[in-house]
Amino acid sequence: MTAARWLHRLEMRLRPLLPVLAIVIISGFALGACASEGAQTVSFTPKYDNILYDSSETVVSNGQGQTIHVGANGRGEARRGVIAFDVASNVDRGAKVKAVRLVLNMSRASNDTPQTVSLHRVTTFWGEGASDAEGNEGGGADPTTQDATWIHATYDN
């Protein structure tokens, strides 16, 4: 199975499983692979992640933050979390992937209003720079070189 086809299947399987979230902490990613010696489970964490902040005031990012914000903040500004996994370095070449599980934990919600959250495949490279938002990380930080922002795949490019 090609990587693109596998990612599309992952997206279709996980889409209905995503809960309503305001802030997400990534716990891990697990693949059930069937190698020639027998079945095995491989668990790993993201290679990199970032938050895209739709802000009317400034361009911000959070490449080194501890959380992922998704949904809308109190001012109605959207937040999008981007997460990248290095599947090729964690799964043996030629292994057949039989099952995939993505684990996300909600740490808090901004309000009691339900929000729909979706999972989408990103087909363009995006960056994770050295920006690190303070406090609850909801406001972001000034982007650094290679940070993804709402308008930059890699700042300032």
Distance in angstroms (rounded) separating the CA atoms of residues 47 and 90: 11
Please report the pLDDT score of residue 102 as a whole number.
82
H helical segments located in the chain: 3-14, 87-90
Top-confidence residue, 105 or 119: 119
Is the pLDDT reported for residue 31 higher than 70? no
Lookup: tokens for 60: 């911000």
Mean pLDDT computed over 102-127: 78
Is the pLDDT reported for residue 26 higher than 70? no
Is the pLDDT reported for residue 18 higher than 90? no
Beta strands in 3-150 (DSSP E): 23-35, 38-44, 48-53, 68-69, 71-72, 78-84, 96-108
Mean pLDDT computed over 60-67: 92
Please report the pLDDT score of residue 136 as a whole number.
87
Binned at pLDDT 50, 70 and 90, residue 30 comes out as low
Please report the pLDDT score of residue 25 as a whole number.
44
pLDDT tens-digit readout, 92-112: 888 888 888 888 777 777 667
Is the pLDDT reported for residue 4 higher than 90? no
Can you give the pTM of this predicted structure? 0.70
